[in-house]
Structure 1
Amino acid sequence: MRILLLLCGVWLQWGAALSACGQQLPAGAAFAVVPLGVKGGLAEGNLSAYLVAAAGSTDYVCLDAGSLRVGIEKAVVNQVFPVPADEVLKRYIKAYCISHAHLDHVAGLLLNAPDDAPKHIYGLSECLATIQNDYFNWQAWPNFGNAGNPPALRKYQLQALVPQQVSPIENTRLSVQAFVLSHGSPMQSAAFLVRSQDSYLLYLGDTGADEIEKTHNLRSLWQALQPLVRRGQLKAIFIETSYANSQPTQQLFGHLTPALMMQEMAALAQLTGAPALRGLPVVITHIKPSEGNEAAIKKQLVEANALQLKLIFPEQGQLLTF
């Protein structure tokens, strides 16, 4: 009987690891991440969107939603999910966290709204106001929100996040803290610090460097992160690097280059000590897929990686674990 119980325990643990997706997760993983879109503009079917769940759970939050269905379908083909795409959209995605309301971060959400299930959309108040007033207004798109021009269909509950205040994400085992970012004055963006038990994952929406943006937003974010990095609780950083170093400063439009991204990582290292960042997974997002840009960015990042970060270049529909 004791052996049977032990075998049952092992089976339940194995089944929980498989339940988040169609593949077994590594032992000790805290998060399962499924990139539904990884590019920054141009690639209409592959725009910023990342599903995140606590390991062993099928309850995902979607961080930005530039592309949804194409990414979900690729993940199904790759056996990341054992169910059809419609079920992933309606049942697995429990909520959205939107960093800012540019179309390459919300187009998938808008286009799939008619077939989606009711759920929450989280974001800073400025972002949610744009979604409600400029998209969900019966002119750009039907009002799937819970306010604005009547009749409001109330499929989505738009929930404003207070910067740096912890908020639970409905119907998941996750919570989130939002941090203000600058995406080219006066555009506001956000970073989301997602928590599962004692583990954290940081996702940054589009952002410029403090030096260029003339702000201290990233510095404030790094200060908030430093104790988590020191204790090994931060499992990954998702950060954009849109342009190669040759991009003129006046044409960055609130984005980062490899040099600027590594400059910001160095600012974090000053707070934590460089050894604390060694081997930290850093997922590079929002690369503009113009000719030669991707190859240049990857080369420049690898060459500038004096901090020995674990650089990851995500692929649409391919499972990541942290």
Structure 2
Amino acid sequence: MALLKNFWICLILISMNSFSQKVQKTNFQIVHLGVKGGIDEKNLSAYLIAPLNTNDFICLDAGTIHAGIEKAIENNVFKISSEAVLKKYIKGYLISHAHLDHVAGLIINSPADSSKTIYATKDCMEMMQKHYFNGETWANFGDQGTGYQIKKYHFQTLNPKEQTPITNTTMTVKAFPLSHVNPFESTAFLIKNDNAYALYLGDTGADQIEKSNKLSLLWTEIAPLIKNRTLKGIFIEVSFPNEQSDSQLFGHLTPKYLMKELHTLSDLAGKGALKGFKIIITHMKPPTENFAKIKAQLKKQNDLGLEFIFPEQGKRFEL
């Protein structure tokens, strides 16, 4: 009788442990302000991320801001005005690179914004100061660079792989270089809050096409976080379907090349480590029929058991 009782206790404990492994605790909330690449100026790369149960958001890229906030308000994600979200909830911006589809919303909304910090790598920051916030193309709302400095924004340069606190939040960030039409660089941002991480990649090509090792180096850095289950998800672009020729990728990924890169990550993290892992697909480019192609190709090639998430503008989810 005692032996049977112990058997059932062990079975219950095993079941509880298995359930706890499957139901992973969420640590971040995400609001998609813009999710596409390409020509839709109302829906370009911009993702708000904050620790769960806070409104201390940092904006990952800033292609679209106002239209995305308005969409989120329509979806009852925010209960305050768009101006209040911009001024009070968005604590700063992490800019992966200075292409307009990643910074246009920041520039256009700067006159209505509140004081906060813009974070970027040295090359990206210099491009923004030279081409945008220069007192000619646009007023210099920053505290560095040419022209009259309005000093609404603090321009903070990120050193690669150096952990930097994000002002007015409990989060920190590490920047890693990416190749986006070699030798032009984009950036990946590893966000940390407590002992949880999220990884956001700006535009990037595959190492094979870019003749680079930047993704390989990034995967080596984050593989231990996947092994110990502290990395909650990866935001990564797939701009084109597989039909796009290698010569016309312009520093972007297809489903084929994304899966090849994720196999490299899987080899580093260990067999089965990516099963059920969340991959948030960003920067899909029009025409509209490409979206269905990309989704179908990713589903067909998903031999790692990944959970692909296709974000919608103005929607919220937890990570």
Given candidates 132, 135, 139, the residue that maps to 1:138 is: 135
Deviations 1:190-235 (A, max 9, x none): 0000001000000000000000111110011000001100000010
Given candidates 301, 311, 316, the residue that maps to 1:314 is: 311
Q: Superposition pairs for residues 55-204 of structure 1, below 5 Å?
A: 55-204=52-201
Across the aligned residues of Structure 1 and Structure 2, the Cα RMSD in angstroms comes to 1.1
Highest Rg: 1 or 2?
2
State TM-score, norm by structure 2.
0.92
Rounded Cα–Cα distance in structure 1 between residues aligned with 2:134 and 2:63: 19
Where do 4+ consecutive residues of structure 1 move more than 6 Å?
none
**The residue matched to 2:273 in structure 1 has which SS?**
helix
1:250 aligns with 2:247: yes
Greater alpha carbon shift after TM alignment, 307-316 vs 78-87: 78-87
- CA shift for structure 1 position 145: 1.3
Deviations 1:84-126 (A, max 9, x none): 1110000000010000000000000000000000100001110
1:274 aligns with 2:243: no
The residue identity in structure 1 corresponding to 2:193 is S
The residue identity in structure 2 corresponding to 1:177 is K
- CA shift for structure 1 position 186: 2.4
Partner of 1:221: 218
Deviations 1:119-159 (A, max 9, x none): 00001110011111110112211111112223111111110
The residue identity in structure 2 corresponding to 1:197 is D
- CA shift for structure 1 position 291: 4.0
Greater alpha carbon shift after TM alignment, 46-55 vs 143-152: 143-152
1:261 aligns with 2:258: yes
Identical-residue share of aligned pairs (%): 50
Deviations 1:240-280 (A, max 9, x none): 00001010101100000000000000000010123110000
Deviations 1:19-54 (A, max 9, x none): xxxxxxx99320000010000011110000000000
Partner of 1:10: none
1:294 aligns with 2:274: no
Partner of 1:39: 36
Rounded Cα–Cα distance in structure 2 between residues aligned with 1:234 and 1:28: 11
Deviations 1:46-93 (A, max 9, x none): 000000000111110000000001110111111111211110000000
The residue identity in structure 2 corresponding to 1:72 is I
State TM-score, norm by structure 1.
0.91
Partner of 2:4: none
Greater alpha carbon shift after TM alignment, 228-237 vs 75-84: 75-84
User: Cα gap change, 1:103/1:32 in structure 2, threshold over 3 Å: closer, same or farther?
Assistant: same
Partner of 2:209: 212
Q: Is the 8 A contact 1:274 1:307 kept in 2?
A: no
The residue identity in structure 2 corresponding to 1:215 is S
**The residue matched to 2:199 in structure 1 has which SS?**
strand
Rounded Cα–Cα distance in structure 1 between residues aligned with 2:292 and 2:24: 33
The residue identity in structure 1 corresponding to 2:221 is A
Structure 1 spans left out of the alignment, 5+ residues: 1-25
Rounded Cα–Cα distance in structure 2 between residues aligned with 1:151 and 1:291: 43
Rounded Cα–Cα distance in structure 2 between residues aligned with 1:290 and 1:206: 18
